[in-house]
Amino acid sequence: MPVHRRRPTVFPWERRRFLALLAAAVPSAAAAGFPVPARNPGGTPARDLSASDLAARVTELERAVRPAGRFAESLLVAADDAPPAVKDSADYVCDGVDDQEEINAALEALSNDRSPAFGSQGGSVGLVGRFFSISAPIRLRAHCEVQGQGRMVTTLQATADMDGGEKQGVFELNSPDTQYTGVRGLGIHGGPGSSCCGIFFEQGRGTEWDASHLLSNLYIYRTGHHGVYLLNGPGDSRLRAGVLDTIRVIEAGRRVTRGASGYVIDSPDTCIANCESGLSAGHGFRLPNANSQLANCKSWFSGRSADGFGQGSGFHLDGHRSSLVGCTAQDNYGHGYFIAGGDHSISGAVADSNGYNGGGGSGRGAGYTGSGFYLRGRKGHPSTVQGTSFDRKYDGANVYQQYGVQFADGATRVNLTLSVGRVAVQPVGGEVPRGSRVSLVS
């Protein structure tokens, strides 16, 4: 049973930073709104508040402005390899076995998993140390964040007990109604023998309109299934308005399943920025839902476990109304961009040497497996695509990318502006749909 050891309600470095900023901003405690120090009997002003006095006053103010029982806290969980001094000041100390128990206990201490209107307090759980062994999911609670010391410093490794498949993750929601969670600044390692996702969220209705989860500054490596899997639950699910920022997913699913992708975002209104997927078994980014927004994202070498045409695309858009800005698909096994669904807006897209299957149509591979852009669409829902498509293999051999842009049979009309460099066959494959507006420079 994890032992909870009480400590200050905010991290020491947070308090020091606050006091330092306060000291730099005001000349004295009086200017900051604190009581003016009393005068000495001789009439000279007493020395200004000391740092300890000021800290005590800050604590009093914190308690005054927050109702009792709903005080947002920060709890510290130390890894088994943390220094002794850190362990002595931590709220929870792990032993290197089933470390999710201490992390979950800290989350439970912070939140009853409901909104603040129903008595939840929330707060943050800080992970200190390099290695945490995870044998069951960490269950995030409403209005709580888990934060490590850096994505290449703090590592959570799944053990062989994490074998629940694509609907299990190192991080999960405590309940389908959990909202407003955060995970920042840490790494997730699949670990030998594990078979799960790095992050798996399945959302229900919740208590507010949007769940709005935050995932930031993460490194997710060699998970048995998807790196990140966000899934709208049945009924009126509210897995909306999520934010994914600066996440690197490497080798998702390559050890376990061919169908695993770096990201599967089956939730609407998700904002994804500065994220990448490399060496995934399936697609880099799969977007089967609506209104996904991607900016400055990259997929490379995705589909290395794929075995057929159209598998392992960099960006696989089979939902609707997605927006991609400044994204790059490079050296993926399948297409750079597989564009189904409709009403997409894609600009500044780069498709670089996709169809990369170890030889392409002219080498040792099994034939062409992809083009720069593959357009299928949905009838009555045209999309706009602007970008560049090329194969950088200038030696004249092993050119992988079959077409700059390829239209599927029965493809819907499209507004296409594309520059096409060297490709294996020709700039355009298939028949341009009637009613399309195509501007091509090759």
Range(s) of the domain holding residue 231: 74-355+368-375
Q: Indicate whether 236 and 328 sit together in one domain.
A: yes
- Domains contained in the chain, number: 2
The pLDDT of residue 397 is: 65
Q: In what order do the strands lie in the sheet with 196-203?
A: 138-140, 165-173, 196-203, 228-232, 263-266, 285-287, 315-317, 337-339, 373-375, 403-407, 426-429
pLDDT on residue 183: 98
* pLDDT number for residue 424: 80
129 and 259 in a single domain? The answer is: yes
Structure tokens at 65: 């402005």
Domain holding 256: CATH number?
2.160.20.10
Q: Does residue 266 share a domain with residue 147?
A: yes
Q: Is 172 in the same domain as 208?
A: yes
The verdict on 16 and 134 lying in the same domain is no
DSSP 40-60: PTTSPBPPPPPHHHHHHHHHH
pLDDT for position 401: 87
Residue 336 lies in a domain: yes
For residues 254 and 222, is the Cβ–Cβ distance under 8 A?
yes
pLDDT value, residue 347 = 97
Domain match, 155 and 81 both: yes
If asked whether residues 259 and 306 sit together in one domain, one would say yes
Residue 12, token pair as written in the block: 């020491």
- pLDDT, one tens digit for every residue, the chain (442 residues): 565 554 444 444 444 445 445 544 444 444 444 444 444 444 444 445 566 666 665 555 444 434 444 455 789 999 999 999 999 999 999 999 999 999 999 999 988 776 554 445 789 999 999 999 999 999 999 889 999 999 999 999 999 999 999 999 999 999 888 889 999 999 999 988 899 999 999 987 766 678 889 999 999 999 999 999 999 877 777 888 899 999 999 999 876 667 899 999 999 999 999 999 999 999 999 999 999 999 999 999 998 776 555 578 999 999 999 999 999 999 998 999 999 989 999 999 999 999 887 544 444 445 678 899 999 988 778 899 999 999 887 566 667 888 999 999 888 889 999 999 888 888 999 999 988 999 999 8
Residue 188 and residue 41 share a domain: no
User: Considering the domain boundaries, does residue 7 fall inside one?
Assistant: no
pTM listed for this prediction = 0.82
Classify residue 111: in a domain, yes or no. yes
